Each structure stands twice: as structure tokens, then as C-alpha cells.
Amino acid sequence: MSSSPYRIQPFARIVLSMVVLWTAISVLGALQTYSDNLRAGQSSHYPALLATWFVEYAVPLIVLSCILCIALTRWPALISHPCNVVAMFACLVLLFQPAQWMYMAWQRGMLQVSSLEDAWQLLMRMLLVGWFSTTGTFAAILAFFYWRQSKERELAWQRSQTDMLNLRLALEEQRMLALRAQLEPHFLFNALNAISALVRSDDKRLALQGIGRLSELLRYVLSASSGHTVSVAAELRFVQDYLALQRLRYGERLRMQVDGAGEGLEHIACPPLLLQPLVENALRHDLDCSEGPSDIHLSFIREHDALLVRVTNPARCDTPANPGAGLGLANTRDRLRLMHPEAALFAGRQGERFVAEVRLPLAQAD
């Protein structure tokens, strides 16, 4: 029972709004009639004109407006089908309009009908009275509710699009977190492999150095994982520390040439742990597949709207490929796509070298 006032309140607002609207129209209509009478030299009394306008014209239209607004507010489906609109218009013509004529004739004292001829004259006199204002009111109210339904549909569509976008962003965020969680154990596994190789070589001093370097690398991994992006310069420093760990294992065989590294890399964003899988892939397909020194090139090439990061290593045909899982490159490609639609990774053999090239848009790092 306590909710009934809340259901009545919107209808009370409708009635009050209609009364205020038609009162204002009556004030203007009476003022226009008063002005016309003055120009015609006829004496008139404005309060009386206002009362006539309000009682004869405004009251029926207030009733019509309230009935239509309350009905369409409670049952919006009434205007969802053309047949319903036609039925409402038929009720307007067959029921409301005659009732309005009778009301206005009563107000004007014209209901004293003594013959069929008097009735016919009254009908002819009232036939056009209020017709334009009644049908105009009907059309205006329907147009308003059509517009309101259109706005509500538009807002509902916008809300659904926003909800879909938020859901998609949430799914992409979860996918990014899943990819990152997948990559970090992969990195840790390969770093521990390097340390285990040192342990197997029975070189305790180098193994302890490797553990110390690994702890520094893990600090970076934990720090970088808190954000969506890091700077390319930070990634380069991390790769250099990672190579220092791997150099404990490979010694002087590990050689890598870096070209194009400059201060501009501090302002270019990339996903965390971007370069390490590329370098690790080059190490696996170079040093692990031969006994000689490595020949790995890491270069940064600045274009007008992007940075190209290229890692190349020899593609030897006479050595078997390292049976890695291939997770690093596939993971990197997915994370780049999630970071920016124009970021991409291209990897494949070019002549006698294997090339992995990352295209990064020039976006600011977090």
C-alpha cells in the first residue's frame, strides 16, 4: 500500500502540467481576442474573455491531454502499432468530439432544441468548433510520446553499447592478465634453466651470481606487471640484465649487437616483457643450435609514426631447431594486439637470417 503514492505522483504531475500549459494558452488567446476587439472598436472585459477561453476551450483540452498522457504513460504499447493509433483517433472523433460540442453548446446556452431543424442548425454551427485544436492536441501529444520513445530507445541502445564495450574491455583485460601470467612463469622457467646449467657445471660462484641476477630480474618483472605498459628503454635495460645472466652460462659465445638505442626510447610505450621473448627466441635458435659464437642483432628504427624493433639471428639449415614451446612469440603477438590495434609482430625467415620485427606506435609510456 505504501507504494501507491509513488504511482499516483507521476499522474498528478501530468495533470498539473496540462493545467499550467492550457492556462497559459488561454491567457494568450484571451489577450489576442481582447486586442482584436479593441482594434475593432468593441468594448470587452479581459477577465471575462479569459474565463470564457479557459472554461469553453481549455477545460475540454485539459481533459483530453490528461487522458492521453496518462494512458500513453501507463501503456506505451498503445502507439507501437498503427491500428492502435487509428482506434484512438476514432474514439476522439466519435466520442470526445461530440462530448466537447455538447459541453460548449451547454456553456453558450444553445441546448434549447425544439425541432430537428434546430438540432441540425446546432450541429452545423458546432461542427468546426474545436476541431482544429482537438486534432492538433491529439497529434502533438502522440508526436511527443513518439519522440520520447525514440529517445528512450536511443538511450537504451547507447547503454547497451556502453555495457558491451565495458564487457569487452573487461574480457580483454582478463585476457591480457592471463597472457602476462602465462609469460612470467615462462620467463622464470628459462631463467632457472640457465642457473641449473651453471649448477650442473659445478661452478658455485657463477651459480650464486646467477641467482643474484635472477632476483634483480624478478624485481623488474613484479614492478612492470603492475602497469599495462612500460618504456622501451626500461625493457632494453631488462634485456641487458637478462643477457648478463645468460652470459654466465654461455660465456663469450653470447654476443649481441644493439643499434639505434637512444634517449627517445624513454617516451615510447610497449607491453612489459616485450623484448625478452624475442631475444630468448634468438638465443635458443642460435647458441643452442651451434657451438660457435652468437650473431644476434637488436636494432631500433624510428619512423614518423612508429618504432620498429628488430631482432635477427642466423637461420642455420644444418642444425636442428630447438624444440621450444613457441609460447614467447605467440604470446607477444597477442599482447601487442591488445595494447594497440596498430602494434604488431612479424616473424619469419628472410634469406639466411630469422627476423622478428615489432611495430610500436609512438604512444606515451605509463
Q: Which domains does the chain have, with CATH numbers?
A: 4-156 (no CATH), 161-361 (3.30.565.10)
| CA-based nearest residue to 218, from 249, 195, 202, 248 | 195
Mean pLDDT for 16-36 is 85
Q: What is the pLDDT of residue 97?
A: 77
250, 289 contact by CB (below 8 A): no
- Indicate the pLDDT class of residue 1, thresholds 50, 70 and 90: very low
- Indicate the pLDDT class of residue 228, thresholds 50, 70 and 90: confident
Q: Write the CB contacts of 325 (distance below 8 Å, at least 6 apart in sequence).
A: 186
* Sheet strands side by side (includes 256-259): 256-259, 296-302, 306-314, 353-361, 344-350
Q: What is the pLDDT of residue 309?
A: 92
pTM (two decimals): 0.48
277, 309 contact by CB (below 8 A): no
